[in-house]
């Protein structure tokens, strides 16, 4: 049986990740695939509730502790993610460990320290980095309500994403229209689905 593809959307705030992730799941489903959306942080779990309390500024945690909770929120999902992929379901994942490292390092934590808790996680088969100037994304709806939604921090986050960028990432101009971006993502996702169908699952994120 063919395995599913792990398709990741990363990027700074308000670059359209959640919009595109949902559209991609819907499109793949229309095309006859099994596809599900997985969002990190997953705020529905016990750990996710703690993360939500922190992001909504109801609870304070030190930078190291919240970093480890974000990572634990990925590790607690890893078996479910792997089972979906093994059963042939494609995963469209909205943020992952790259967000984890970029945000924590932007607050001043050491980049290599930040990567360690996520070493060995499942590796995405295809990563889109939705990129646009921070000034432009700040004009979009909803910016400024949660803890990290500040221009200076977002600028550092973008620089860190570019530092973490892997050679095979697809950098997407997030200022294009929603439909233009959707067409690009769909085309690349379909190619990856075919390419990885008979490949083993890839563990070993950031493992040397």
Report residue 77 as tokens. Answer: 């999902």
Nearer to ligand Z5A, 3 or 21 (CB): 21
Q: What CA–CA distance (Å, rounded) separates 104 from 133?
A: 20
202 lies in the site for Mg ion, by CB under 5 A: no
Residue 13 interaction partner, one of ligand Z5A, Mg ion, none, beta carbon < 5-8 Å per kind? ligand Z5A
Considering the complex, state which of residue 125 and residue 131 has its C-beta at the smaller distance from ligand Z5A. Answer: 131
The encoded tokens of residue 109 equal: 């934590």
Cα R_g (the chain), whole angstroms: 16
Tell me how far, at minimum, the Cβ of 152 lies from Mg ion, in Å. 20
Least Å distance, CB 134 to ligand Z5A, is 11
Which single residue is written with the structure tokens 């992929």?
Answer: 85
Which residue number, 3 or 20, has a Cβ lying nearer to ligand Z5A?
A: 20
Of the two residues 10 and 125, which places its CB atom closer to ligand Z5A in the complex?
Answer: 10
**CA-based angle 128:31:123, to the nearest 5?**
35
In 110-173, which ranges are E strands? 126-131, 170-173
The span from the CA of 86 to the CA of 159, in Å, is: 35
- Selection from 123, 71, 120 nearest residue 99 by Cα: 71
Angle between helices 97-106 and 151-164 (to 10 degrees): 130
When CB distances are held under 5 to 8 angstroms depending on the partner's kind, the choice from ligand Z5A, Mg ion, none that residue 149 binds is: ligand Z5A
Residue with tokens 């949660």: 146
The size of the interface with Mg ion (CB under 5 A), counted in residues, is 2
Task: Tell me the per-residue interface mask from 13 to 52 with Mg ion, x by CB under 5 A, - otherwise.
Answer: ----xx----------------------------------
Minimal distance in Å, beta carbon 29 to ligand Z5A? 18
The least distance separating ligand Z5A from the CB of residue 179, rounded to whole angstroms, comes to 9
C-beta closer to ligand Z5A: residue 98 or 193: 98
């Amino acid at each position: 049986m063919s395995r599913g593809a792990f398709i990741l959307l990363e990027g700074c705030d308000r670059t359209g990740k959640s919009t595109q992730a949902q559209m991609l799941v819907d499109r793949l489903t229309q095309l006859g695939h099994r596809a599900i959306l997985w969002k990190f942080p997953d705020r529905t779990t016990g750990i996710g509730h703690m993360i939500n309390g922190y992001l909504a500024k109801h609870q304070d945690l030190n930078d190291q502790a919240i970093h480890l909770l974000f990572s634990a929120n990925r590790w607690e999902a890893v078996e479910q993610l792997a089972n979906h992929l093994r059963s042939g379901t494609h995963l469209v994942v909205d943020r992952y460990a790259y967000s984890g490292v970029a945000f924590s390092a932007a607050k001043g934590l050491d980049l290599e320290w930040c990567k360690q808790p996520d070493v060995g996680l499942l590796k995405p088969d295809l990563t889109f980095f939705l990129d646009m100037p921070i000034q432009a994304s700040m004009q979009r709806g909803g910016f400024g309500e949660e803890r990290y939604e500040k221009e200076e921090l977002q600028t550092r986050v973008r620089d860190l994403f570019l530092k973490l960028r892997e050679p095979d990432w697809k950098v997407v101009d997030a200022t294009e229209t929603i439909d233009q971006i959707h067409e690009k993502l769909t085309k690349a996702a379909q190619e990856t689905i075919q390419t990885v169908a008979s490949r083993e699952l890839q563990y070993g994120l950031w493992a040397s």
